[in-house]
Structure formats: C-alpha cells, structure tokens
A and B are shown apart, each in its own frame.
Chain A
Amino acid sequence: MALNLNVNGKAYSVDVEPETPLLWVIRDSIGLTGTKFGCGIAKCGACTVHIDGAAAKSCNTAASAAVGKNITTIEGLSADSKHPVQVAWTEIDVPQCGYCQSGQIMAAAALLSKNKRPTDADIDAEMSDNVCRCGTYQRIRQAIHRASELA
C-alpha cells in the first residue's frame, strides 16, 4: 500500500507494507542512504533520525507511525554541512570509519535542540544509546561541547 511520508521537507509516496521500519523506507524506497542499519533492534543508534525534531531509532519505528510527521535525516540536517554539530564534528575530526556518525550527529543535534549547554552527564545520558565500534566517544563529547558554543 502507498504511504505518504514527509522526509527532509519533501513529500514521498512509497509502496511498502505499513509495518516496514522507517529505516528501510528511507534507505531503499527513497534512496537516502546516510541513515545506517546496524542492529535492527534499536540497540546501536546508527539509524537515528528526527521525527518532529526528536531523535528516533528508525529501525524499530514503523513507517506507518511516521505518516503526517516531519522526518529529518542526516541529508536534511543542513544543506551545506553547516549545522553547528556538523561544523564541530569537522573541526574536531570526529569520524573514523564513519558508519555510526550519521546517527551520532542526529542524536547530538536533537540533544542540543532541547539542551543548549549540556553537561558531560547530560551527554552521557543522551548519547549512550549510540554505539561507535571505533571508539570516537571522547571526540564526540568534545564536539558536542564545541557545537554548543557554536550554536
């Protein structure tokens, strides 16, 4: 069946089963591959997107549950990689393999949108849903503080 989704400000009509995870609709039906598949059980955060501005794991969010909402993926976070989180990530050279970083950046952007000056404890609480096998955590923390200054 056709579902109408709003992703990065654009309307898409996709032919998928309504229970299809939003992740796979974004990646395979719409073709935005910046959002990653890591686990499929909401345990790694690689699939993090924003739904109405809040961080959500798209791998366990049914596409039908996102109808009528504003979905933002890494591709829609900014047009020019100039979102403060992206600027800070670039300045501090956070990514290594980079696979989890879309999810990390989306989680960090959601954190900063509700908490302009997060403490280390705030960052731990919010970011511990997102795993990074390369262990870039120290630079992620540093970059979130930097983004908080830039914003």
Chain B
Amino acid sequence: MTHLDITRRNFIVSTAAAGGGMMLGFYLPSAAQAANIANNPWERPTAKDGQEVNAWLVIDPDGTVTIRVAQSEMGEGVFTSMPMLVAEELQADWKAIKAEYADANRHIKQNNIYQRMSTGGSSAVRSSRVYLQQAGASARERLKEAAAKDWGVTRDQVTAKDSVLTAGTKRGTYAEFATKASQINFDKEPAIKTPDQYTFLGTSVQRLDTPLKVNGTATFGIDVRLPGMVYAAVMSHPIPGGDSATASARKLKSFDFDAIKSRPGVISAVELKPQGDIASGVQPGVAVIADTWYRAKTALGLMPIQWEMGPDVAINSTALFERQRKALTEPGAAVARKDGDAEGMIAKAAKKVEAVYESPYQAHACMEPMNCTVSVTADRVDVYGGFQNPPGALAVVADNLGAKPENVYTHTTFLGGGFGRRSRNDEVRQAAAIAGVVKKPVKMVWTREEDFRQGKHRPMATTKLIAGIGADGMPSGLWMRSVQHSITAHSRPDAVVNGLDNGSVEGFRTNVYAIKDQYLDMHIRNSNLPVQAYRSVAVSQNIFQFESFIDEVAQAGGKDPLQLRMDLTKDLADYQLVLKTLKEKAGWSTTLPKGTGMGMAMSTAFGTICAQCATVSVTRRGVLTVDKVVAVFDTGHLVNPSIAEGQSQSAITMGLGAAWIQEITLDKGQVVQGNFDTYPIMRMNQMPVIETHFALSGGDKWGGMGEPGLPPIGAAVGNAIFYATGKRVRSMPFNHTDLSWA
C-alpha cells in the first residue's frame, strides 16, 4: 500500500495544548537549547506556535519543522528514524527538523490518529514507514500547490528542496506557505517515493537525541519533578503473579506504619490491593510516601511487614525444570507443525541424533528501574513515564482511577531501556493506585531489588530435538517437542486454544530449512512468575536450542555447519547472500587450534535474517573468552546504517549476557536475583569485538533491527565452544558448565 487517504485528517488545532501545558523546572544548559529535541520530549521544542500541516508535522514561522514521533525512544533510535522517513519525502532541511512525541490523548480523542503508538516487535519502521512517508509527501505537495497558486504556475513547475520552494525566479520558504498548504485538499494523495528515489534514507545521520544524552538533560521517567510532588517507595508481595487459584491466597497480612511514621520526611503508608489481572495488575503490597525518595525507601525497608505466602511458596526453579523435562514424555502435546512424516523418516535413517536443551528465565533489567509519576486533579490526570505503549498506559490509569480516558494525559519521557518490559504498564497502574489515595503528585520509583522481584521475565523453556541423518550426511526428518512457559497463557489465557501457543515456539516452528519431514509439538507449563516479551521474545530462548541442535546435526553428518545451512537454504537467495557474506567476512574456519573455535548460527525474526559467527577461546581450565562476533543482517533496506549497527551491537551484547552469565531463578516462589551482583550485566572487559555487515536484498522487504541480532548469538557462541573444547553446551547460562578440556 503506497496511498493513504489522509485528507480527512487535515485539520488545524492549537498545538500549544498538545503537551498538556505543564511547566517543569529542569536544568537547561545552553547546549540543550540548540538540540533538535526538547529535553522533555513531550513538550513543544520551540515556544513559537507553528502551523500544523497535518497531524505529523508542524512548520514554524522560523522554518523549524517539527515532526511528531508516535513510537517510544528507548535507544532503538525512533526519534531519528521516524523523522527521517517524513523528511525524505518532505524535502525539508534536516538541520531545521525537530522531533517531539505524538500525544496519546489526542490519539484516542481523534480516532487513533497516530495509528500505532505501541513500540515493540522491531516494527517501528516496518509499521509506520508508509504512512510517515505519506505524511511527508502529502505535506510537500500541499506546500508546492500553495506556492503554485500564489505564483500562477502549475504544481509540477514548483521544486521543493531543503525547505525552499522555487519556480523560475520565484522563491519562497516552507514557513511562508505552511498556512495555505494546510488548507489545501487533494482528491488523490501523491505517491511516495520508491527506494531508488531515496536521497536521505539509508544515510548515517547523527541521532537527534545524542546532544541531550551527553550532558544529562534528556529527561527519563525517573527525572520528572512536579511542583508539590511527594515520593513513593513500594514493596509488592515477594511471591509475584500466580494463577487464579493461588494468587488470591497471597496476601499482605499486616504492616506497622507506627514503627516508622516518626522517621524524617515520612508522610503516610498506602496499602496496595490487588487490582486488574494477575499478570499485569497491582500485586498486594504497600507503599511508603515521604518527602524524598530515599527517605521513603529507607522507611519502607524498616517497616515490619507480614505476608501470607499461599501455595506458590513451594515453587522453585529446580522443580520447574524437572517438571518441564518430565513433560517431554507426557501425552497430549499440541501440534504446532507437521510436514510429512518425521518419525517415519527418523526411524529408517542411517543415524539418529537426539538432545534436550534448556533455557532459564531472564530479566529485562532495564538500566532505569521501573517508575511512574502521576498527578490527579479535579478535572485531569497527568501521567509521566517511559511508556512503550502510551495509549495502554492512559487506559490503565483511566480504568484504575475511574477517570474518563479523554481526561488522562500521558507524557512519555525517554526510556532508560525498554526491551519489552515497559509494555505491560503494571507500574503505571500501581502508581495510579497510589496517587488516587495520596491526592498529591506522586513519583513512584522501584528499587533495583523490586525491579527484579517484580519483573515480568523472559520465559524458561525445555526442548527435545531428534533428527535422522541420511547416508549422505543430510538431515532426514526432524522431530521437536518444546515445553514452554507461555506468555499468552499468562496474560491472555483465552487466546490459547487446545494448549497451543504458536508464538512460544517461534524459531522451531518458523525454521526455513529444507528438511521435508518436520514435526513440532508443545506443552505449556507455567509457574507463578508473570512473563513478558523480552528482546526478541520466544526466539531469544528457542534459537539457542534450535541452532545448537542443527550444529549437532552437522557434526553427526560430518558436514561443515555453515555449508549445511547453505545447503538447507539453497533455494532462498536472500539466505544464500547472508551466509556467503558471513563466510567471507568472518574468514570462516573449522580448523582452528584446540582451545579456540568458530561457531555460527542464524535466524529469521521480525522480518530480518541474521547470521552470526563467534570466535572463542577456552583455556584448559575452562575459562571462556568471546573474542569476536561477526554479524550479517538482511533487513531488505536500511533507514540509518549507523543506528542499525548500534542495534546489532546492542542485541548481541544482551544475548551474550543471557547465554553466558545470567539467569533468573525462583526459590520459595520468589525471584532469587535482586541486583547486579547476582544478575550480572555484560561489562566492557568481557566484550568481544563486534563486526556488523549488511547484505541487503532490497525489494519489498523492510525487516526490523531492534531484536533480530539477539537470537543467534547464544548458539553461535555455544557452537564455537564445541569446536574449541569438544564440549556441547545444552543449557544456559554457559558459566554453569565446566568447559575445561585436556
């Protein structure tokens, strides 16, 4: 689709009201004034009232073009990539571009005018591209038309470039014609450019948010300060989640506010009663309110609290893995894929290879602990925070406080990491519940420990895989059974029919290998722990398992693992290009001296193919160093190669941590890990050199970039460990396995 009817959306509103008119006192050094984004990105970057040409863009009298961004900036670069999509068509002077968040309140009042305001699934570019390009093209043609009318020429005689309109000797700026342009209606909207016409997309322009992120002025949720604000520290029930039977048995028995009420700055305690659904609602708990957060947090830590634990206190990770392994042999699994006769082919194969893989729970561990600030007044509610889904946050607050949605105003800040964690809005509901009682603006901030205890973690999974190996060394039949903690079963139980959650077995189910006979089924085995999409969702655990097993298949058949993957994708030109590029760029070798090894893996997720080669060294005593990772992506096209390279490094780093050093475990129904001492984050001295290449197939493909770099890294490193040591690592994190060799 390249045409959208946006004529009906050409209305004019007062833009000054868009941000809710809040004035906050922030430190504002001179450099920030020159930045292209306000340090509070929900506010208009300029004080001047400009002309809104359409809902996406405003042209100020001084020529500044403000582009509204409906996706949330959590590091993935949407505050730059989204404006680039508009600017390519608008032919605007990039130096005069400013970006600001689209307003979720306006979005819901005006029939979802910003289309997609939830950020996730590596989809910002893929989902928004066409309508953002259309917004730019439609504005450009209106500016040209306005000038043409004024000058008595035809529209095609007018050229638009760098925010200037020219026709012969006539010359005018976008600013001069913005008002007239906004009043023009077309019967048919102009076509957007095809990729061969791009002059700006595909260039590595600097991120617009960089200036704010090198001097401390970028405002994150945790930085919001409102007049008269008080602070809340919270502790929810140490046993998170549960199901409909067990959740109601978890209770806050008592808390002794009298024991802390005379401490400095302490104002009150607020009991949190369960509200909303179990997976993303308010957990039973208590908040302490004080005049500073540190005083609130300290008092909360000293307040005696009694909990009723309920039956989930019996849950622990060892038993959960035993249960998942046991389920591998249990009947009634839901079939997710059945091509041909995998069992029959395996039965008559020359050789059989079989393995069980395990992946534990993982934490998003955003650098910015969860927080939210809420101000309730008689006629409106204002909500501030790092929302991956601002309209969702708005709805949760309206529901919790019984407010009309149109009276709820979200103010999305920069997000100190998101990775899926900031999509649930559980912290938003909790902050609203507190603010509804306190009757003052409240900033609620979780401790890091609370952030881990109340995390909505990445699911754990156990999978058995069996392959037949033919006389030619090629796989002939692939049988898989995966036992998953299903996100959908937890958050939307009605959406799981007959025990099948296709999303949870993505990676296995979606493999493109030319193995004719394939079978996949699954069991769901959930614990009390609420789970949530984590960067790359199910493929984050599944591709480790699947691609490590494919390496075992190569080994069993005496095949070069990279060549095997080339053979299994030989009819797919884009895969061939990615794998060929990887082979060249990585200097692929299977003959490194013992103690060093190269391993590779590939996956397709979020529309993008990614193949990676890891080079590792392992000392005889088993100390692992990941020396280098070469990654090749096919996203089809690229908006900004520099940002894309950053996303590659980012996803690989996160995936490497999960593969190597991190896990979330449960004991007594509670999350064991509480801070970065027990859940370590990758550090600079552990990092490989990461080399990123793009092998772009173009065409209609616009793949995502935020997540696809994560899935292959675990298997690439695990496979490299095998070639270095002869040891096959079948569970994460790798630092639990003795890698020593002789």
| Of the residues B225, B418, B649, contact of A135 by C-beta under 8 Å | B649
Q: Which residue of A lies closest to B447 (CB)?
A: A40
Chain B minimum-CB-distance residue to A126: B684
Question: Closest approach, in angstroms, between the C-beta of B470 and any C-beta of chain A?
Answer: 41
Measured in the bound complex, the distance between the Cα atoms of B29 and A27 in whole Å is 16
* Residues of A in contact, count (CB < 8 Å): 63
* Contact of A93 with B by CB under 8 A: yes
Give B458 Cβ to nearest chain A Cβ, in Å. Answer: 14
CB distance from A134 to the nearest CB of B (A): 5
Cβ B646 vs Cβ A74 within 8 A: no
- How many chain B residues touch A (CB < 8 A): the figure is 70
B368 touches A99 (CB 8 A): yes
Partner of B218 from the list A27, A37, A98, A124 (CB cut-off 8 Å) is: A98
Chain A residues with Cβ below 8 Å from B416 are 36, 97-99
Query: Which residue of A has the minimal Cβ distance to B206?
Result: A93
Are the C-beta atoms of B74 and A97 separated by less than 8 Å? yes
A105 CB to closest chain B CB, in angstroms? 6
- Give the docked Cα–Cα distance between A89 and B684 (Å): 16
Kindly state whether residue B448 has any CB partner on chain A within 8 Å: yes
What chain B residues lie within 8 Å of A140 (beta carbons)? 684
A132 proximity list for chain B (CB < 8 A): 367, 653, 681
Known contacts: A44-B676, A79-B30, A96-B646. The answer to whether A34 contacts B367 by CB under 8 A is no
- A129→B220 CA distance, assembly (Å): 22
A37 to B371, CA, bound (A): 11
Instruction: Output the least CB separation between A117 and chain B (Å).
Output: 18
B29 surroundings in chain A (CB, below 8 A): 75, 79-81
B642 touches A (CB below 8 Å): yes
Residues of the A chain whose Cβ atoms lie less than 8 Å from the Cβ of B534: none
B-contacting residues, A47-64, CB 8 Å: none
Within 8 Å CB of A77, what residues of B? 215
Tell me whether B369 is interfacial, beta carbon within 8 Å: yes
B25 within 8 A of A: yes
A113 within 8 A of B: no
B-chain residues with CB within 8 Å of residue A32 when the two chains form the complex: 27, 216
Supposing A24-B292, A41-B676, A99-B417 touch, asked if A93 and B367 sit within 8 A by C-beta, the answer is: no
B286 interfacial contact with A, CB 8 Å: no
- A44 surroundings in chain B (CB, below 8 A): 367, 676, 681
For A125, list chain B residues within 8 Å (CB): 685
**Chain A residues positioned under 8 Å from B415 (CB to CB):** 97
Contact (Cβ within 8 A) B209 A133: no
Given known pairs A102-B216, A124-B685, A132-B367, the reply for A40 and B448 (CB within 8 Å) is yes
Q: Does B101 contact A (CB under 8 A)?
A: no
The answer to whether residues A31 and B27 also contact, given A73-B216, A133-B365, A133-B417 and a CB cut-off of 8 A, is yes
- Inter-chain CA distance A135–B710, complex, in Å, is 12
A15-30 vs B: 1/0 string, CB under 8 Å?
0110011001001110
- Closest Cβ neighbor of A44 among chain B residues: B676
**Any B CB within 8 A of the CB of A123:** yes
| Chain A binding surface SS class | loop
Instruction: Report the bound CA distance from A7 to B77 in whole Å.
Output: 33
B121 at interface, CB cutoff 8 A: no
1/0 per residue B5-32: CB within 8 Å of A? 0000000000000000000011101110
**Which residues of B from 356 to 400 have beta carbons under 8 Å from A?**
365-369
With CB as the reference atom, state the residue of chain B lying closest to A81.
B31
| Partner of B675 from A29, A41, A96 at Cβ < 8 Å | A41
Is B207 in contact with A93, judged by CB distance below 8 angstroms?
A: yes
B320 at the interface (CB under 8 A from A): no
What's the least CB distance linking B491 to chain A, in Å? 24
Say whether B682 faces chain A, with CB atoms less than 8 Å apart.
Answer: yes
Q: By the criterion CB–CB under 8 Å, are A131 and B682 in contact? A: yes
Chain A residue nearest to B31 in the complex (CB): A81
B543 contacts partner chain A, Cβ-Cβ < 8 Å: no
CB-based contact B448/A39 at 8 Å: yes
Which B-chain residue is minimally distant from A124 (CB atoms)?
A: B685
Contacts of A38 in B (CB 8 A): 367-369, 448, 676
Identify which of residues 646-694 in chain B touch chain A, using a CB-to-CB cut-off of 8 Å: 646-647, 649-654, 675-677, 681-687, 689-690
Given contacts A43-B677, A105-B214, A134-B646, 19 further A-B contacts (CB under 8 A): A34-B217, A36-B220, A38-B676, A43-B675, A44-B367, A75-B217, A80-B29, A86-B215, A90-B206, A93-B642, A98-B75, A98-B209, A98-B414, A98-B416, A101-B213, A124-B685, A130-B684, A131-B683, A137-B684
Chain A interface residues toward B at CB < 8 A: 16-17, 20-21, 24, 27-29, 31-41, 43-44, 46, 73-75, 77-82, 86, 89-90, 93-102, 105, 123-125, 127-141
Closest 10 CB pairs of A and B: A34-B216, A135-B653, A99-B416, A96-B75, A97-B75, A98-B213, A74-B216, A95-B213, A33-B223, A81-B31
